Chain A
Amino acid sequence: MRKNVRNLILKVLAGPVVFAFMTPAVVAETIHEARSKYRDITVTQVGERRCLLFNVHRGDRNQTCMMMNDRDQLVFDYTRMSFVGLLLQPEPESILVIGLGGGSIPMTFAELYPDAKIDVIEIDEAVVNVAEDYFYYSDTDNMKAHVDDGRPFIKRAGIRGETYDYIVLDAFSGDYIPEHMLTREFLEEVKKIMTDDSVLVANTFSTSRLYDHESVTYQRSFGEFYNFKLPTSGNRIIIATLNTLPPRGELVEASRRIAPSLEKFGISLTDYPRRLTTRVDWDMSRRELTDQYSPGNLLREN
C-alpha cells in the first residue's frame, strides 16, 4: 500500500519530466557550468551523450561530445577528420595538439599510440579542469596538457630544437579566432618543429573571406597542400608536409592498412583519400596573412 502511494507520487512528479522529454526539442540537462577568463563553459547531457559547449548564451555550437556508454566513439566529423594525417604519418612517435576541448583527440592518440609522447596546449585552464572532471581526460606518463598559448609554446620548442611527427592545430573552433596563429610567420615557426616525416593537420574554416586568405597563406608557406572537406562537416582540414605530398595511390594503400585500428573510434579512414584534393578553390589574389596583417576576426564576419 505504502509502496503504491510512493509510486503514485513518483509518477506525478515524473510526469512533467517525461513530458518535457517528449517535446520535439529535447532539453539537454546542464550538469556543469563554469566561467573562465575567456569564455562560459557548459557541460550538458542528453541520455548517454555528454557535450562541452562554449558561450551557449551567444549560440555557439557543441565543442565536443562523448558517448558515455561508448567513450572511444568520436561523435563529430571534425574530430574524426583530425586523424587523416595518419595516411601520411602512420607511426607518430611525438604528437602536438593545440587546443584541448574535451580531450577526445589527444585521448584517441594516446590509445592508438601508447608509447608516443603527446603534448597538448590549451590556453584556458578551466577547459583543462572540465576535460578532467567530465570527459575523463587525464595526463599520463607520456601525455601532458600544458596551460599555455600555442604560439609561444611552438616558438620555444623550435628554439630548443624539438620536433613533432604529428601536429594538430585545433585552436579555431571557438567564437574568437587567435589571429596570431593564422600568420605566415607562425607557420614558419611550425615548420621549424617539423621534420621531413612530420604532418600538420589544421582544422580551420570553410566559409567566409578568411578561407581565401588562409589558403593563400598556407600555400605560400608549404606549397601544395591537401584540402579535406566532408559534405556533412562545416569545416575543412588542411594537411601539409615539408616534403612534396605523396600521391593519392599511396594514401589509399595506407588507409586500407590503418583503417581497422581506427574502426572502434568511428573513423572510416578508407573514405578519406578520395576526399583529399589539391585543387585551388580559393581566390588566389587575396592578401597573405602576416603578423603585420591578420584581421581574422573581421574577415570572418565579411
Chain B
Amino acid sequence: MSDKQARVLPRAIIASMAFVSGFCIMTIEMLGARILSPYFGGSLSVWGSIITIFMLALALGYLLGGRLSTRNPSANTYALFFICAAVFSLPVIFFADFIMEPIFLAIEDPRYGSLFASIFLFFIPTSILGMISPYSVRLMVESEKDSGQMAGLLYFISTLGSAAGTLGTSFYFVLWFEVNQILWGSVIALIFAGCAILLSDYLRNLNTRSSNPSHAKKRA
C-alpha cells in the first residue's frame, strides 16, 4: 500500500466503472427533458437549459475530481463518488414536483425557469458523476509514459457508455419503463458500481495479506 505506483484497482474494474458513469450521465440527461416538460414545455430552450447545466456540472466535477485525485487516491473515495451520485439523484425521483412547482410559479419565462429547475435537480449528482473521470485516470495510470494512453482509453470507454445510455434511453427504455423506473435503474447501477469497487478492494487486500506470509515461508 505504501508503494505509490501500485494500482489500487484492476484496470477492468476501473474501465467498467467509467462505462457505468458515462451511461448514467446520459440516461439522466435524456430523461431531463421529460421531467421538465410538464412545467416548462418541450421547446428547444428547455433542452438548451438541460445541456448547459449538465456541461457546467461536469466541468466543475472534472475540476474537483482532478483535485481530489492528488490526495491519497483510494478505492474508498472512488466508491464514495458512485454512492453519493446515487444518493443525490434520489431527489429527482422523490421531489421533482416540489422543486419545479415554486420555480414555475416564480419565473414566467420558461427558458430561465427550466435553467433554474435543471440546476436544482441535476447539478449536484452530475458534478459528482463528473468527478469519476479524472479520478479514474489517476487510478489507472502507472507511469507518466502511459498517462495519455490511459486517459484516452478511459474517455473512449466512458463516451461509449454515454452513447449507449443515450440510445438505450431514447429508443427503448422510455418505451418499456416509466421515467422513475429508469432513474431507479441508474441509482441501483451506481450503488452496485460503488459496492463492486469496495468488494474488489477488499478481496485484493485479503489476497495481499494472505499471500505475503506464504511468500515469506517459501523464501525461508
Q: Which A residues lie at the B interface, using CB under 8 A?
A: 37-38, 123, 148-152, 155, 159, 178-180, 183, 185-186, 290-295, 298-299
Interface-lining segment among B59-67, B71-79, B129-137, B175-183: B175-183
B contact residues, range: 10 to 19
Contact residues of B: prevailing secondary structure: helix
**Given contacts A155-B104, A298-B174, are A149 and B179 in contact (CB under 8 A)?**
no
Add 7 more A-B contacts to A149-B41, A180-B38 (CB < 8 A).
A151-B37, A151-B38, A152-B39, A180-B34, A180-B41, A293-B174, A298-B175
Determine the chain A residues whose CB is within 8 A of the CB of B34 once the complex forms. 179-180, 291, 294
C-beta contact mask, B156-193 vs A, less than 8 Å → 1, else 0?
00000000000000010011011110000000000000
Closest Cβ neighbor of A152 among chain B residues: B41
Closest Cβ neighbor of A180 among chain B residues: B37
Q: Which B residues lie at the A interface, using CB under 8 A?
A: 34, 37-44, 104-105, 110, 171, 174-175, 177-180
**Contact yes or no, B42 A178, CB < 8 A:** yes
Q: How far is the CB of A110 from chain B (nearest CB, A)?
A: 25
**Contact yes or no, A292 B39, CB < 8 A:** no
Q: How far is the CB of B21 from chain A (nearest CB, A)?
A: 25
Q: How far is the CB of A17 from chain B (nearest CB, A)?
A: 40
Contact residues of A: prevailing secondary structure: loop
- In the assembled complex, 14 residue pairs joining A and B whose CB atoms fall closer than 8 Å, in A order, are A148-B41, A149-B40, A151-B42, A152-B40, A152-B41, A152-B104, A179-B34, A180-B34, A180-B42, A186-B38, A290-B178, A292-B179, A295-B174, A298-B171
Pick from B39, B44, B174, B178: contact of A155, CB below 8 A.
B39
**Contact yes or no, B179 A37, CB < 8 A:** no
Closest Cβ neighbor of A293 among chain B residues: B178
Determine the chain A residues whose CB is within 8 A of the CB of B171 once the complex forms. 298
**Contact yes or no, B39 A179, CB < 8 A:** no
**Contact yes or no, A292 B178, CB < 8 A:** yes
Report the bound CA distance from A178 to B43 in whole Å: 9
Report the bound CA distance from A36 to B38 in whole Å: 23
Closest Cβ neighbor of A37 among chain B residues: B44
Report the bound CA distance from A67 to B42 in whole Å: 33
Determine the chain A residues whose CB is within 8 A of the CB of B37 once the complex forms. 151, 179-180, 291
Report the bound CA distance from A298 to B104 in whole Å: 28
Report the bound CA distance from A186 to B41 in whole Å: 11
Q: How far is the CB of A206 from chain B (nearest CB, A)?
A: 21
